[in-house]
Chains A and B, each alone.
Chain A
């Protein structure tokens, strides 16, 4: 049992990340870790020392110039079943806006060939779901909405490229999706159903090529990642997602939890 070593930060970074993944599925371990961290805290408190007076001044001054994180609000889970069935059962779905949607879906679906059509439908569904949540964000907050809209626009720009190619990979309980456009030199990435991480960890996205891994940004610690859009490096072969400390790492420090081979 690594609970004791974990509670005392006596694991290496890799072991720590792996153990935290295990913790997510193990309620009894989580309870024990909580108690042992509490005990470790008692050891910590026993080492109390009066700090230098200057520390207080600096901490209070820095705090007053530091913006606090927004609280986490309960996740609004987008319905995944309804949009998935929408294209095939479109005629049966009542359109609240009174528009006739079915013929348009059918025309569009028949107008596109085979795999490409399927891929686009998948993307459209994913984006539709994302659009739903983006819309909710719009309603919630002006500032966040502007950002979300920008995000969505940049993803749509990649998707709209004539040479857009899509690839997906399953990850424990979820999926990761990448959309690549060579002509635009962009790659969009999103993932859903990831294991939520502790607050001091975050997922980080990497483009991995012959020259090594390059960060494409630190993502959230939650179940849904992205969408994010990044430049397509000269010779990328794959995207990888690793678990890193909250602020991200210059290079991956753990094995990827998700790897996507990019289409050529």
Chain B
């Protein structure tokens, strides 16, 4: 990291700027070898999605920063264990981020705040509040469009489970539908989203 600061300005002007940026998978190979500069570039690409997702679930900015930091350092620490054949780096990172956020939500410490959040009825405003200045706007538009293809119950279940960090039992309670229905809606909803979003990012 420190070595890198010196050459940055010159490097930006160099012809190599025309080369395509390294993929997250390429960077991960370097990070696994302890390359701190590569980790910084990985950070630049992943910190926004990780922080945004964690804050979306936790709401509290201070807690979100803490969890996001934990997740990002974990990516560094476990880079050597990343297996490309088991999914993309982004999926790996966001799966970890979501799980850590949910673990935090479910810890006893957060139990009290949670009670209040149930009353907030966040189902009604799934996407509109996401900040506009964020990169990845295309992605957001596409997700919003695809969310529109779900049935109301699918969408509500997915939003409460994923962004709300609720268990499917809690979702069933909130929506007042049987457990089996929620399980099915979560799976059907995700499958429909998968088909709508397509494979390519």
A contact set with B: CB distance below 8 Å: 1-5, 7-13, 34-52, 54-56, 58-60, 62-64, 66-72, 199-200, 245
CB distance from B146 to the nearest CB of A (A): 9
CB distance from A4 to the nearest CB of B (A): 3
In the complex, which residue of chain A has the Cβ closest to the Cβ of B102?
Answer: A9
Residues on the A chain within 8 Å of B103, using CB:
245
Inter-chain contact B48/A35, CB cutoff 8 Å: no
CB distance from B169 to the nearest CB of A (A): 7
Residues on the B chain within 8 Å of A7, using CB:
190
Residues on the A chain within 8 Å of B80, using CB:
68-72
Inter-chain contact B94/A41, CB cutoff 8 Å: yes
In the complex, which residue of chain B has the Cβ closest to the Cβ of A65?
Answer: B73
21 residue pairs bridging A and B, Cβ less than 8 Å apart = A4-B183, A10-B167, A10-B168, A11-B167, A11-B168, A37-B87, A40-B94, A42-B201, A44-B53, A44-B97, A46-B142, A48-B52, A48-B136, A55-B65, A60-B1, A63-B77, A68-B77, A68-B79, A69-B77, A199-B81, A245-B103
Tell whether A51 pairs with B86 under 8 Å between CB atoms, given A36-B194, A68-B77.
no
Q: B78 in the interface, Cβ–Cβ < 8 Å?
A: yes
Residues on the A chain within 8 Å of B88, using CB:
38, 41
Tell whether A5 pairs with B186 under 8 Å between CB atoms, given A42-B139, A47-B52.
yes
Residues on the B chain within 8 Å of A69, using CB:
77-78, 80-81
Q: B153 in the interface, Cβ–Cβ < 8 Å?
A: no
Number of A-B residue pairs at CB separation under 8 A: 199
Inter-chain contact B81/A44, CB cutoff 8 Å: no
Whole-angstrom CA separation of A68 from B191 in the bound complex: 36
* Residue in A50, A59, A70 whose CB lies within 8 Å of B69: A59
* Residue in A41, A51, A56 whose CB lies within 8 Å of B91: A41
Main secondary structure of the interface of B (DSSP, over half): helix
Tell whether A37 pairs with B91 under 8 Å between CB atoms, given A12-B169, A51-B47, A60-B39.
yes
* Residue in B52, B131, B190 whose CB lies within 8 Å of A39: B190
Inter-chain contact A64/B36, CB cutoff 8 Å: yes
Inter-chain contact B127/A4, CB cutoff 8 Å: no
Residues on the A chain within 8 Å of B133, using CB:
50
* Residue in A12, A64, A71 whose CB lies within 8 Å of B32: A71
Whole-angstrom CA separation of A217 from B69 in the bound complex: 27
In the complex, which residue of chain B has the Cβ closest to the Cβ of A62?
Answer: B73
Whole-angstrom CA separation of A58 from B161 in the bound complex: 30
Residues on the A chain within 8 Å of B140, using CB:
46, 48
Residues on the A chain within 8 Å of B11, using CB:
none
New contact pairs (6) apart from A4-B183, A36-B194, CB-CB < 8 Å? A37-B91, A44-B52, A45-B143, A48-B134, A69-B80, A71-B81
Greatest chain A CB density within 10 A among B53, B55, B81 is at: B53
Q: B114 in the interface, Cβ–Cβ < 8 Å?
A: no
Interface size class of B (residues with CB under 8 A): 35 or more
Tell whether A5 pairs with B168 under 8 Å between CB atoms, given A36-B191, A51-B68, A71-B81.
yes
Tell whether A48 pairs with B49 under 8 Å between CB atoms, given A9-B98, A58-B69, A60-B1.
yes
Inter-chain contact B78/A199, CB cutoff 8 Å: yes
Residues on the B chain within 8 Å of A12, using CB:
167, 169
Whole-angstrom CA separation of A18 from B99 in the bound complex: 16
CB distance from B89 to the nearest CB of A (A): 10
Residues on the A chain within 8 Å of B97, using CB:
44
Inter-chain contact B39/A10, CB cutoff 8 Å: no
Greatest chain B CB density within 10 A among A5, A8, A40, A200 is at: A8
In the complex, which residue of chain A has the Cβ closest to the Cβ of B40?
Answer: A60
Residues on the A chain within 8 Å of B95, using CB:
37, 40-41
* Residue in A10, A13, A40, A199 whose CB lies within 8 Å of B171: A10
Residues 41-82 (chain B) with a chain A CB within 8 angstroms: 43, 47-53, 55-56, 65, 68-69, 72-73, 76-81
Residues 166-201 (chain B) with a chain A CB within 8 angstroms: 166-169, 171, 182-191, 193-194, 197, 201
User: Which 5 A-B pairs have CB atoms at the shortest separation, nearest pair first?
Assistant: A4-B187, A49-B52, A4-B186, A51-B51, A46-B143
